[in-house]
Amino acid sequence: MRTITADDVVDIADGAAILGTGGGGDPYIGRLMAQVALREHGPVELVSLPEVPDDAQVVTVAMMGAPTVMVEKLPSAEQVGLAASALTDYLGRPLTHIACAEAGGVNSLIPVAAAARLGLPLIDADGMGRAFPEIQMMMPTLYGITTTPLALIDDKGNRCVMDTVDNAWAERLARTSTIEMGCSAMLGSYAMSGTQARESLVPDTLSLCAELGALVRAARAAHTDPVAAVINRMSGRHLFTGKVVDVERRTVTGFARGVARLTGIGDDLGAELVVRFQNESLVAERGGVVIASVPDLICTVDHESGAAVTTEGLRFGQRLTVFSAPSDPRWHSEAGLALAGPRYFGYDVDPVRV
C-alpha cells in the first residue's frame, strides 16, 4: 500500500478497531471522516518509517476524550487538520509528515483525514502499536521525546497550546481542558524529527490494520472463521467466548471507565470472564485470576463476524470472543511497564505476557 484511497479505509478502520482493544474510537465514524477528506482532497501518500528523512518535522494527531462522547460529537472536517497546523504555527517550522498517535477505529483514520486536508504524507506507524487511554503512554515517551508543545482544538473553535514540565503533566492539563471542551478534542502532539520518529514509533501499524481488515472481510466472504484468522495473524491467544451479561460504564474524569461480565458459551460454558476498562480493556479475569493484562492487547470481537466491539459499544447479550495478543516488546521494559503496565492502572498484579 503506497497510497490510501477512500476504498482502503474500510479495511483500515476495521483492523484498527481490533488493535484499539476497545478504545480508539468507533471504526464506522473513523471511516466516514477519512472518506470525506479523501474524496475532497485525493489520496494520501503512505511512507514507511525507514523512508522518513532525518530532518522531517513529524506531528502525531489523534482525537482525545471519552469514546462515549466521540461517537456523538464528531469533529468537523476543518477541525481535523487544525490541531496539527496550530502546533506548527507555534513551532514556527513547516510540518512535513503526519503520524498516528495510536491505533484505533477513529484514531487510525483521523490522521488519514488530517494528511489529506493538509496535503502531507502519512507515516505507516503509530505511537503505541495499540490504543492506550492516556497521552503520555506513547513509545516516544520512552525515548525522551516530549508530548508538548501540544495543541488541542475543540469543535467550537477554541484552541490551547501547552508546554509542560513532563509528559504526565501534559496528560493532566490536556485532559482537564478536553473535559471542559466537552469530553472530546483534536490533539496534535509529540512534534519530532524524522530521526526520532524512526526510532520511537511502532512501525507498519496502518499496513497491519489494513491487513487485519482484509483478513476479516475475506474470511466472511469464504465462510471461514474470521476470528481465528485474526488471532493467528496477531500471534494471539484465545481467552474466552461468551455472552455479555452485564456492563457497568460511566464517563468519569474524561474517560469511559467500567467493567464487562461475560458468561461462557461453547467450550467456555459455565465459566465467567470479567473485563475491566478505561477507554481500552486493561485486564481480563477468569475465576478471579488475571489471565491477560496491559501492556499486551485484550481484544473483544463479535464471535462470528470478527468485528471489533469497542468498550462503549458493549451491550447485554452480545456474543463475543475475547483474545489477547502481544504488544510491541518495548512495552515490557521496566520503563514501559511503569508507563502502561497493570500497576500504573491500579491493578496490583504482574503483567501477563502472551
Binding site for a second copy (CB under 8 A): 90, 156-165, 169, 172-173, 176-177, 179-181
Under a CB-based contact definition with an 8 Å cutoff, are residues 103 and 308 in contact?
no
Q: Shortest approach of a second copy to residue 179 CB, angstroms?
A: 7
Q: 321 has which bridge partners?
A: 241, 301
Q: Kindly tell me which of 76 and 176 has the beta carbon lying closer to a second copy.
A: 176
Closest approach of Cβ 147 to a second copy, in Å?
12
Q: How far is the CB of 181 from a second copy (least distance, A)?
A: 7
Q: Are 201 and 291 in contact (CB under 8 A)?
A: no
Instruction: Using the minimum distance from each CB to a second copy, give the nearer residue, 176 or 224.
Output: 176
Query: Residue 60 in 3-state DSSP?
Result: strand
Nearer residue to a second copy within complex by CB, 65 or 342: 65
In this complex, which beta carbon is closest to a second copy, that of residue 8 or of residue 134?
134
Beta bridge partners of 261: 246, 274
Quick one: 162 or 228, whose CB is closer to a second copy?
Answer: 162
Q: Which is nearer to a second copy, 167 or 281 (CB)?
A: 167
- Specify the residue, 151 or 247, whose C-beta has the smaller distance to a second copy: 151
Query: How does DSSP assign 197-259, residue by residue?
Result: HHHHSEETHHHHHHHHHHHHHHHHHTTS-HHHHHHHHTT-EEEEEEEEEEEEEEEETTEEEEE
Length of the chain: 354
Exposure pattern of 304-327 as b/e (b: 16+ CB <10 Å)? eebbbbbbbbbeeebebbbbbbbb
Q: Shortest distance, CB of residue 330 to a second copy, whole angstroms?
A: 27
Other Cβ atoms within 10 Å of 217 Cβ, number = 16
Distances (CA, A) of 313 to 17, 26, 74, 130: 12, 8, 16, 18
The three state secondary structure string of 303-350 is CCCCCECCHHHCCCCCEEEEEEECCCHHHHCHHHHHHHCCCCCCCCCC
CB-wise, 69 or 230, nearer to a second copy? 69
270 vs 291: CA distance, rounded Å: 17
| 278, 345 Cβ separation under 8 angstroms | yes
Closest CB 168 distance from a second copy, rounded Å: 11
Q: How far is the CB of 89 from a second copy (least distance, A)?
A: 9
- Nearest distance, CB of residue 160 and a second copy, angstroms: 5
Rounded to the nearest 5°, which phi and psi values hold at 60?
Answer: -90, 145
